[in-house]
Amino acid sequence: MNSHRNGREPLTELRVDRERCIGAGMCVLTAPAVFDQDGDDGRVIVSAHAPAPDQEAAVREAVHHCPSGAITVVSVR
């Protein structure tokens, strides 16, 4: 499991299903520090599987707005 620079364990972990992703890009627009799109097929790429605490609200909003439901947030508390 990844830990942050301050040594604390992350509060959430992201999982994505690239086969389910339709490349709408809502995640990238909502949380650009955490998500990107593959230049070849437009599908989601996660740049931070364990987002920083200050990104958690944006990540949860991105999950909510994902039209295909390809992103899942798992609590690791």
At 25-45, the pLDDT tens digits run: 999 999 999 999 999 999 999
**pLDDT value, residue 10:** 54
What is the Cα Rg of the chain in Å? Answer: 12
**pLDDT value, residue 77:** 61
Q: Which of 64, 33, 28, 65 is nearest to 48 (CA)?
A: 33
At 54-68, the pLDDT tens digits run: 998 999 999 999 999
